[in-house]
Structure 1
């Protein structure tokens, strides 16, 4: 029997290779090696199918959200005018920006043009006219003041989330203008979540407030898509309101009709129902909804978090059994959708590491990248079309950008993913001679053709090493002379405590912005020809196979 290795499979080959989480021998404990080629641990041999694209996701696959809680006081919406934040957001395009979350179902649109939530500041020159992004910039002194106030507000909102008690909030045209200006000037595609908890006496959705908002947005010619309600399966717990799947479907059909009657929004997309991940006692909600209103939505959305932020641990973030729960829940949703609405796209409409606002000291640190990168790889492989990260900025501890508007480790990971990983998913398998299982997870896509300088036919692998010891990955004979560029991400400090760092090093260099408007260059290391790649312990990396020559790429 030939030795296992990396085989480029011709189109006529019969077997279809499936992904496996890789299991390897660990090398002796010691200092993590520098990124590059090397030996030491038993090699993991990989097979990659270049004959066809296994799946293809949306170019906006990695998308982001701003939680509706950001609008609880309109003055904080002015932070969206920060040139620094716009620089960071623009770097993640193409992407959707979802505005929604728990607070959306406690918000009321109240037109009051004469009202300025920042009447004590000189903001008359800071107004978005719809075609002047240069003027949509927050003055530096005002930004500093608002960031300080937001840090206090974020703590209040976090405590509100823990208590599960939500105060109603009003917002005006001004807040909508600021939100749209940010998305439009950053190049993001806005999805706006409407309040589903406005109910009539017979428990149908009361659309009056939504129509008021939709009419305003149409008068301003704001291009956007729509959602209705956030996690309707928890309405009873949050607000004492129970909505079954049939009624939820009727509510969406009502909104769909309103949009169809609009000149501007007749062709806009509608997404839903944004349910929580499946649980036995509420699986009927998605079934009833799809039986009633599958034709009204352009994608079926659901939410996923791995763990409870209140009682999780660092070990959970590195546990392959925890990571694999995504596949279990995804397959449950896909089975339901495919049986009732075959061909309907399925999205992770909101997702992060830990629910309840995130896990303090974990969700905003380097270790969170293991959950995030594995989720991106596994979701694409399983057939989810879009993954919306909770949140770009906002309350909680699972944000990509902190309260000072500085990028956190998961932002840099997301940026590298955007630049290097294309929408075409390739099949990959991996195995070691011993068959002993340790924690190495490998995914493969065509390299992004649009945001990288790599030639067509290039392939990007991304690999996660969930152990402290380095892992060795064996390249095939066909690619021994091929150039590989490595982008290895590690915590700046060693050991388990280093995994809680709010910084990340790329090939040994800690990443940070050059200035308020400039991102650093993200350069890979060109590796000399060789047989093995060595990935340090507790790290993850992107490897671009520049001369792979994959015909499907």
Structure 2
């Protein structure tokens, strides 16, 4: 996560009736026909993935969690110091390994703004107390080896970026390969493999990300071309991701002036088609850590306009992809509830609606992977950083991984702005279909009619609760990270009620969908 930086389409009843896979009445009841849902996209098996920030690996000052109370405050506040020091994260703990392993297969991205200026200490000595000139942090061999071993243990493929700060530059200011080469060479020696990499984290905010003074689009283009030459010689099988931009398309805070930033379009015009896949980042808002009372209040979260920030941002970057990298995949390599470590309610049930809608809407748009920031740090972590206990977003990720396959289906339009429906082929079941329905109305039920299914309804005692309920029972991991049995309830064919403020997965094992029968 970087340092501070600064439409709804309403479907008509007629459009719903015209869809092959859904019918709608004037009362908003929806009839789903899973057998006839057509394939619209395909995502990576590692669609739901996570970040472990480089500064977590090295130790350092990262976003300080908000003080915990019975409930997060309704009105955003500020903290005196937005950061707190953390020692290097211990990725050898059995609990974190077991919980992260439940998300396999996944990508584990080790990057972030601090990675831009992190020196790789290529020896076995203790961590330097002071970074070399031109760097702000130090990563040791032992620390990076710990990350490599963790990735192996949890079924994750590594994604990263490299240092680009003044310490990597020659007398002319040109980026040099020395640091990147020692990093890649040691990764191989340690038994690791970098599946994909960006050059630097978030070049649109280069000035905030330790880039040299005066860094512009032309400098970026020169650097990424040099890095491509290095990468294709050093690790040709590694996917070159870029540009890794953020902050364009949809303002994170409506009405707030943005700081000076680089233009992704100008960067791509200058660099040419050097990237193997297009990457971008998105946060739907900024934490009150960075913007104080201008931050979004939790009452605005369950609204179509807020949820649509994800697909609207993707649409902006997808247009640039189509223009400058046509035919290339698009990856979301960093995302979370709010930039600057998450809002006070990022760890609460209310955020699962944003997360579920993000996963559903971006899969339909053929985004290949969504990498959540972070696994276990600050308020937006999937796990509580002190106890490692799962938060609601973690449970949502587990349900998604277990039930939703990689083939994305057209669930058809819903007749109401407060009902959102997404469908995939059911994971591991030939011909089966999985549906997820979000009722974002806090006061009223919705209803679906569909064939016999298994039902998994997620609710909470309160929207700001950190307790997630599955079919009325709290979800809780064991002290060692063992997950409870996650089973659905049998639902007969016919109408199914969706409680207010709920997320419900349905698995239709015998749907007989031709697109879900495999080859």
Matched, 1:337 2:321: yes
Matched, 1:44 2:55: no
Shift of residue 349, structure 1, vs aligned partner:
1.1
Q: Which residue of 2 aligns with 1:399?
A: 381
Map 1:76-475 to 2 at 5 A: 76-77=87-88, 79-115=90-126, 168-197=136-165, 198-225=168-195, 226-239=197-210, 241-262=213-234, 265-279=235-249, 285-293=263-271, 295-310=273-288, 311-360=295-344, 362-394=345-377, 396-403=378-385, 404-432=387-415, 437-449=416-428, 455-475=429-449
Cα distance, 1:294–1:523 mapped onto 2, change above 3 Å: farther
**Is the contact between residue 21 and residue 32 of structure 2 (CA under 8 Å) also seen in structure 1?**
no
Cα distance, 1:431–1:322 mapped onto 2, change above 3 Å: closer
| Secondary structure, aligned partner of 2:263 | helix
**Is the contact between residue 81 and residue 182 of structure 1 (CA under 8 Å) also seen in structure 2?**
yes
**Is the contact between residue 285 and residue 337 of structure 2 (CA under 8 Å) also seen in structure 1?**
yes
Shift of residue 78, structure 1, vs aligned partner:
5.4
Matched, 1:485 2:454: yes
- For residues 334 and 417 of structure 2, what CA distance do their matches in structure 1 show? 30
Unaligned runs of 5+ in 1: 8-14, 26-41, 118-165, 450-454
**Is the contact between residue 61 and residue 385 of structure 1 (CA under 8 Å) also seen in structure 2?**
yes
| Secondary structure, aligned partner of 2:330 | strand
Aligned length: 456
Question: What's the CA shift string for 1:344-370, capped at 9, x where partnerless?
Answer: 11111101111111102x101111101
Map 1:19-58 to 2 at 5 A: 43-46=29-32, 50=36, 52-58=38-44
Shift of residue 372, structure 1, vs aligned partner:
0.3
Structure with the bigger RCO (C-alpha within 8 Å, sep 6+) is 1
- For residues 188 and 19 of structure 1, what CA distance do their matches in structure 2 show? 37
Give the TM-score taking structure 2 as reference length: 0.81
Matched, 1:513 2:491: no
| Secondary structure, aligned partner of 1:552 | helix
- For residues 483 and 48 of structure 1, what CA distance do their matches in structure 2 show? 11
Shift of residue 219, structure 1, vs aligned partner:
2.9
Question: What's the CA shift string for 1:486-521, capped at 9, x where partnerless?
Answer: 100111x2xxxx111111010111111134042111
Moved more, 166-175 or 283-292: 283-292
Question: What's the CA shift string for 1:138-192, capped at 9, x where partnerless?
Answer: xxxxxxxxxxxxxxxxxxxxxxxxxxxx991112111111110100111100112
Shift of residue 400, structure 1, vs aligned partner:
0.2
Give the TM-score taking structure 1 as reference length: 0.76
- For residues 247 and 36 of structure 2, what CA distance do their matches in structure 1 show? 34
Shift of residue 292, structure 1, vs aligned partner:
4.7
Shift of residue 242, structure 1, vs aligned partner:
3.9
1:61 to 11, 32, 47: 47
Moved more, 302-311 or 65-74: 65-74
| Secondary structure, aligned partner of 1:488 | strand
Shift of residue 235, structure 1, vs aligned partner:
1.9
| Secondary structure, aligned partner of 1:81 | coil
Shift of residue 113, structure 1, vs aligned partner:
0.7
In our comparison, the structure showing a higher alpha carbon Rg is 1
Question: What's the CA shift string for 1:378-410, capped at 9, x where partnerless?
Answer: 11112211111111122x210001111111111
Cα root mean square deviation, aligned? 3.0
Cα distance, 1:421–1:23 mapped onto 2, change above 3 Å: farther
Shift of residue 483, structure 1, vs aligned partner:
2.1
| Secondary structure, aligned partner of 2:338 | strand
**Is the contact between residue 52 and residue 110 of structure 2 (CA under 8 Å) also seen in structure 1?**
yes
Shift of residue 5, structure 1, vs aligned partner:
12
